[in-house]
């Protein structure tokens, strides 16, 4: 029955994430919000919504290791597994100024979480600070986009908007149907998160596997399915900026929004293998990607295969220790 809970939870999380993104983007277009801002806020938050619901539910259920492991494991999977899989399908170009800006932000935020690991707990004060940093960065990114539209990068920004529009164009739904998708997606996420956490925690206890490992592997992979689906579709269409931007944006939201909101609800203890090992692997995975993006180099199929191999090695290493 536990495995039925897990499979059902993963299915509901995936459907819920898709419904949330579809409904949110459709409503945003009807409200006249720019496509670029929608991609940064709605898509980034929408694909990270499963991690948010799972982490909050885990914290309230007395499983804080699953909440923290979910975020750390998802960020590792986003870079190594998702970008690696997309790179295997088509080489990913990394020559966007916005991509370089966001990649630097991901490294800084990841380093900040690594520094927090020296504390005993992420309390409500640290959670509030994370949310303030997130809102500040969103304002900075929005201001940067406005300035870039007045510079020589107008064409690059136009191409990016066209790519995002093609990948994330909402269906021609009525406002009522969009609201139904939005609310239905949230409900699916809540129910799916409940069954996934219950099933995973039960398996962890019965097999003697720590909840930290379950959170870092199975749950992290399951809640990263929306990002993976988006990356595969975008890579088939050859839109590298959409893939990389989605991954980097999701990693920012995972740390700042998910851990921030969760810490406001319940303190997150910092102890065990996650803070001793996995947080630093997360930082290393972000740091490995940055030189590639900084130089405007493309992520080739060979490098994509290397990323996937590193992720599989990480999963194997996790269960060995």
Query: Which residue, 10, 302, 283, 38, is CA-closest to 160?
Result: 38
Q: What mean pLDDT, rounded, does the chain reach?
A: 76
Overall domain count for the chain: 1
Give buried/exposed letters for 164-179 (b at 16+ CB in 10 A, else e). Answer: beebbebeebeeeebe
CATH number at residue 94: 1.20.1420.30
First to last CA, the chain: 28
pLDDT: which is higher, 31 or 127: 127
Domain encompassing residue 191: 2-320
Q: What is the DSSP string of 246-283?
A: HHHHHHHHIIIIIIHHHHHHS-EE--SHIIIIIHHHHH
Highest mean pLDDT among 100-104, 196-200, 224-228, 275-279: 275-279
Q: Choose among 192, 257, 173: nearest CA to 16.
A: 192
The per-residue pLDDT for 283 is: 94
More confident of the two residues 291 and 87:
87
311 and 80 Cβ atoms separated by less than 8 Å:
yes
pLDDT of residue 156 exceeding 50, the answer is no
Q: Poorest-confidence range of 23-37, 215-229, 277-291?
A: 23-37
Q: State the Cα–Cα distance between residues 180 and 182, nearest whole angstrom.
A: 5
Say how many CA atoms lie within 13 Å of 162 toward its Cβ: 8
Give the whole-angstrom CA distance, residue 64 versus residue 263.
10
Tally Cβ neighbours within 10 Å of residue 64: 26
Q: What is the mean pLDDT of residues 24-38?
A: 58
Nearest to 153 by CA among 25, 241, 252, 26: 241
Predicted confidence band of residue 285 (pLDDT cuts 50, 70, 90): very high
Query: H helices then E strands: how many in the chain?
Result: 17, 2
Ranking 42-46, 63-67, 85-89, 280-284 by mean pLDDT, the lowest is: 42-46
- Highest mean pLDDT pick, 42-46, 56-60, 173-177, 198-202: 56-60
What is the structure's pLDDT at 271? 75
pTM for the structure as a whole? 0.75
Least confident interval from 65-79, 185-199, 248-262:
185-199
Assess whether pLDDT exceeds 50 at residue 123.
Answer: yes
């Amino acid at each position: 029955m536990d495995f039925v809970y897990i499979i059902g939870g993963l299915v509901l999380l995936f459907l819920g994430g898709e419904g949330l993104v579809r409904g949110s983007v459709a409503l945003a277009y009807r409200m006249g919000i720019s496509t670029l801002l929608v991609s940064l806020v709605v898509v980034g938050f929408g694909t990270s919504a499963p991690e948010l619901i799972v982490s909050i539910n885990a914290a309230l259920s007395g499983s804080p290791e699953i909440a923290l492991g979910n975020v750390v494991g998802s960020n590792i999977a986003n870079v190594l597994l998702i970008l690696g899989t997309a790179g295997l399908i088509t080489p990913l170009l990394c020559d966007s100024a916005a991509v370089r800006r966001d990649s630097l932000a991901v490294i800084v935020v990841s380093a900040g979480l690594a520094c927090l690991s020296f504390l005993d707990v992420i309390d409500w004060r640290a959670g509030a600070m994370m949310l303030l940093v997130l809102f500040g960065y969103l304002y900075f990114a929005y201001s940067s986009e406005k300035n870039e539209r007045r510079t020589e990068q107008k064409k690059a920004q136009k191409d990016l908007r066209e790519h995002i529009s093609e990948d994330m164009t909402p269906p021609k739904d009525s406002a009522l149907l969009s609201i139904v998708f939005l609310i239905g997606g949230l409900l699916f996420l809540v129910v799916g998160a409940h069954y996934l956490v219950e099933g995973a925690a039960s398996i962890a206890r019965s097999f003697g596997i720590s909840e930290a490992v379950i959170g870092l592997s199975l749950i992290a992979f399951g809640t990263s399915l929306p990002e993976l689906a988006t990356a595969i579709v975008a890579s088939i269409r050859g839109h590298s900026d959409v893939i990389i931007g989605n991954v980097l944006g999701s990693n920012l939201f995972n740390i700042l929004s998910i851990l921030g909101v969760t810490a406001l609800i319940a303190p997150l203890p910092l102890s065990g293998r996650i803070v001793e090992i996995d947080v630093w692997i997360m930082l290393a995975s972000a740091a490995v990607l940055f030189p590639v993006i900084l130089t405007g180099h493309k992520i080739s199929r060979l490098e994509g295969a290397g990323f996937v191999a590193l992720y599989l090695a990480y999963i194997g290493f996790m269960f060995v220790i």
